[in-house]
């Protein structure tokens, strides 16, 4: 099925999400305004759907490069979660997500693809949770779900 059809019908599908960390800080991105759902909202470092028969880690590496121009990291799988969320415009994300963590330094070279990402920033998990509580409307549904329901499973000791 086409990606748009999958989301319009709320079909359960595979996905990959990556969180790049620099010690206690996490890199988040603001989705480009041209995205067909959740444009302009803040999300985790990157996320996508794997190609047919693409290994999740290969997908994570591909999207770090395509969305943010980030190369040379070593994303490690930390969990698999499933969620279902309304993403607006009559679309539903029903995803089974392989979640990866990649360690980086704060001076990491980031070259966002403007078709994908309009802004990035680093903040601690506690700062991110506080911002989501204060302004939930500016964050993607899946980021809110990850932090509300799966924070300890994803971030372990960093949580």
Question: Half-sphere exposure (CA, 13 Å, Cβ side) for 100?
Answer: 26
What is the C-alpha separation between 45 and 64, in angstroms, rounded?
Answer: 8
Taking a C-beta distance cutoff of 8 angstroms, is the pair 17, 44 a contact? yes
Taking a C-beta distance cutoff of 8 angstroms, is the pair 73, 102 a contact? yes
Residue 23: Cβ within 10 Å count: 12
- Please list the active-site residues: 47, 95
What H or E segment, with its residue span, contains residue 134? helix 125-134
Residue 31 main-chain phi, psi, to 5 deg: -65, 140
pLDDT of residue 37: 85
What is the C-alpha separation between 84 and 78, in angstroms, rounded?
Answer: 20
pLDDT of residue 5: 64
Taking a C-beta distance cutoff of 8 angstroms, is the pair 69, 113 a contact? yes
Question: Rounded to the nearest 5 degrees, what angle is found at the Cα of 86, between the Cα atoms of 97 and 143?
Answer: 50
Q: Is 57 exposed, middle or buried (0-12, 13-18, 19+ CB in 10 A)?
A: middle
pLDDT of residue 159: 47
Q: What is the DSSP letter of 9?
A: H
- Using CA of residue 127, residue 128, residue 129, residue 131, what is the dihedral sign? positive
pTM score: 0.92
Q: What is the residue-level pLDDT of the chain in tens, covering all 159 positions? A: 666 666 666 666 799 999 999 999 999 999 999 998 899 999 999 999 899 899 999 999 999 999 999 999 999 999 999 999 888 888 888 989 999 999 998 789 999 999 999 999 999 999 999 999 999 999 999 999 999 999 998 998 554
Domains of the chain: 3-158 (3.90.79.10)
């Amino acid at each position: 099925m086409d990606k748009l059809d999958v989301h319009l019908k709320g079909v359960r599908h595979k996905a990959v999400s990556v969180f790049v960390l620099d010690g206690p800080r996490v890199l988040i991105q603001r989705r480009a305004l041209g995205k067909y759902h959740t444009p302009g909202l803040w999300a985790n470092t990157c996320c996508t759907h794997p190609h047919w028969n693409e290994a999740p880690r290969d997908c994570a590496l591909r999207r770090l490069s395509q969305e943010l121009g980030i190369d040379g990291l070593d994303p490690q799988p930390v969990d698999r979660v499933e969620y279902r969320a309304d993403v607006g415009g009559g679309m539903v994300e029903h995803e089974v997500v392989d979640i990866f963590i990649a360690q980086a330094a704060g001076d990491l070279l980031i070259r966002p693809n403007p078709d994908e990402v309009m802004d990035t920033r680093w903040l601690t998990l506690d700062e991110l949770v506080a911002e989501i509580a204060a302004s939930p409307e500016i964050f993607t549904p899946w980021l809110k779900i990850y932090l509300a329901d799966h924070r300890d499973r994803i971030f372990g000791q960093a949580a």
